[in-house]
């Protein structure tokens, strides 16, 4: 999606071979040096520092940062181990903190900059058998709101045909751009719209 709009992309994942395979497909379609692949354990602070610096250097700047890592720690609160709880928070929450903490300086150098934090309805509606996931998604949402107060000019909300008051509430918030899918396009469709709008910050809904 991003490469199709003319962007260079850096793919970072703990599955380095998988990231390299996707980068190779992007380069085959859009030309050499369009995509780069890096190994990144999103829980590792040093790896974040190194990967962001490498991506910025390879692409001649970094202006969009997408946080899409996430896992589910299944089991109710009595069944879930403390180790699984901590691992879920490290991947779903700590990774966002690390990416924004060390990515902001690159985005400031390449304005306009966009940070896209992928979340889910689990941040608003809890499931009894996914306490770690629910908590992490709520924290991600809250963290995004805090970041808005400090460095973000615009927050983009893409609503996938919801039937609650999400859109009405979002339209009352300052600095919020709302885009509505009349029908649910699914996770992938929602992501594509988010990416498109983030790359076109002047667009209005």
Helices (H), 45-204: 45-59, 82-89, 95-109, 131-150, 166-170, 186-199
Give the mean model confidence (pLDDT) for residues 84-92: 85
Across residues 73-95, what is the average pLDDT?
81
Task: Examine the pLDDT at 17 and tell me if it is beyond 70.
Answer: yes
> What CA–CA distances, in Å, run from 28 to 3, 12, 18?
11, 19, 16
Structure tokens at 130: 């996914």
Split at pLDDT 50, 70, 90, the class of 18 is very high
pLDDT of residue 205: 42
Query: Given 133, 143, 187, 195, which residue is catalytic?
Result: 133
Q: Would you tell me how many other CB atoms lie within 10 Å of the CB of residue 9? A: 20
- pLDDT computed for residue 136 by the predictor: 47
Instruction: Give the global pTM.
Output: 0.65
CATH architecture of 60-199: 3-Layer(aba) Sandwich (3.40)
pLDDT(46) > 90 = yes
Q: How far is CA 72 from CA 84, 167, 193, in A?
A: 9, 27, 24
Instruction: Give the whole-number percent of the chain exceeding pLDDT 70.
Output: 73
Ordered by start, the domain boundaries in the chain are 60-199
Residue 38 falls in the annotated catalytic set: no
Would you say 8 and 33 are in contact if contact means Cβ atoms under 8 Å apart? yes
Average pLDDT of the residues of the chain: 79
**pLDDT, tens only, 101-154:** 999 999 999 888 888 877 665 555 444 444 444 444 554 565 466 555 566 667
């Amino acid at each position: 999606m991003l490469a199709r709009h003319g962007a260079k992309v850096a793919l970072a994942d703990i599955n380095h071979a998988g990231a390299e395979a996707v980068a190779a497909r992007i380069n085959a379609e859009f030309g050499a040096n369009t995509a780069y692949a890096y190994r990144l354990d999103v829980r590792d602070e040093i790896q974040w520092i190194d990967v962001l610096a490498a991506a910025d250097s390879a692409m001649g700047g970094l202006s969009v940062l997408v946080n899409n890592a996430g896992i589910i720690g299944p089991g109710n609160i009595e069944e879930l181990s403390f180790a699984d709880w901590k691992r879920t928070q490290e991947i779903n929450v700590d990774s966002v903190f690390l990416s924004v903490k060390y990515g902001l300086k690159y985005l400031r150098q390449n304005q306009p900059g966009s940070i896209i934090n992928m979340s889910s309805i689990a941040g608003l509606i809890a499931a009894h058998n996914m306490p770690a996931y629910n908590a992490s998604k709520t924290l991600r949402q809250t963290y995004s709101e805090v970041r808005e107060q400090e460095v973000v000019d615009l927050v983009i909300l893409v609503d996938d045909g919801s039937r609650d008051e999400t859109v009405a509430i979002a339209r009352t918030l300052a600095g919020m751009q709302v885009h509505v899918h009349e029908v649910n396009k699914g996770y992938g469709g929602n992501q594509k719209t988010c990416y498109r709008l983030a790359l076109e910050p002047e667009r209005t809904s």
